[in-house]
Structures are given as C-alpha cells and as structure tokens.
Amino acid sequence: MSKSPIYAGRILIYSTPAALTQHIEWALNQNLGYQVEPNWVNQPLSPGAKATEVDFNSDQPVAAKIAKALISWRYLRFEITQRCKKSGDATLYRITPDLGLHQASLASNGDVVLNEHQVNQLILNAPSQKRLQQDLEKALGNQWDIELEPYRIALASCMSETARRSG
C-alpha cells in the first residue's frame, strides 16, 4: 500500500531574472527531492524577467527550505504556500526585493491568521494606536499583497494565454 504525501503546496515565482531560472529549478529539485520542469513565461511587468508556477507534494514540510534557498537571490518575487493534509494547517512565505520575507499562517480560505500570542504581543509593544495599526498591517502582510498583486495578475494572464495556445 502506497502512502500519499502529507504536504501539498504551490510555488509562484512572479519575477526572476531569466539568468536565474536554471538555478531556481536546481534549488526546487534539491529541496523537493524530485524533478520539476517549470513552464517559464515572460513576465510583462519586468522586461527580461521570467515567471512560473509549480505545484508540489511531499512527505516532509519543504516550503521553509525552498524559501530559504530562493531568498538568497535578491531580485526574486515569489510566494510559497504549503498545507498539511492531515491537520489542515497552512503556511505562506512571500518575498519581494524591497520588503524581504513575510511568513504567515493561513486559514482554510487563504486568509492570513494571527494567533492570540501574536496579537497580544503587538498590543503590548505598541506605543500608540497608529503604531499598532502599522504593526498589524505588517503582521498581516498587507504591503506584500500590494506589491505582489500586479505580478499575480500578470502571471495568471500569461499562464492562461500559454494554456490557450497549447490547446
């Protein structure tokens, strides 16, 4: 009887210099433990850049390892989601050149979730209401959403155009 993978996820590389695509593939293959062959498309928001999406399954949690491997290349914009099929727990990693790394837990509908401890720490450490608002927005990843949304739309458009052309 074969055991099905416990973890599933998606890697969305929104923008990378074309010269890094092979390095990214090597990092993905090494951390996933099997070969992936991403379908790279041109990223219209960044001339000369590429974008792709890769779904994965794994017996081990690998999203943090992949994020760590990819963050060393400064010019990448990407998101990695990973869900544990047994518990339903999910994690999101997103990275932009300007903002760096944001990690968050996700609800089943994809919303970012802050736990009681995180909220209490934000309240306790906020010197003002304005600072509390800023810290909550950072914890929720609002700036990452704002920066990545145009890239999400462009990647979705490019991938659907590629699918239409291939038939």
pLDDT classification of 132: cutoffs 50, 70, 90: very high
Extents of the domains making up the chain? 7-166
Q: Which of 13, 112, 96 is nearest to 53 (CA)?
A: 13
* Span 112-137, average pLDDT: 95
Average pLDDT rounded to a whole number, residues 58-66: 96
Residue 43: Cβ-neighbour burial (10 angstroms; 0-12, 13-18, 19+):
buried
pTM of the model: 0.90
Average pLDDT over residues 35-54: 95
pLDDT at 91: 97
Structure confidence at residue 79 (pLDDT): 97
The three-state secondary structure class of 105 is strand
Among 120, 66, 115, which residue's Cα sits nearest to residue 94? 66
Cα separation, 116 vs 22, in Å, equals 41
pLDDT bin (cut points 50, 70, 90) of residue 159 is: confident
Lowest mean pLDDT among 39-43, 96-100, 136-140, 161-165: 161-165
pLDDT at site 1: 43
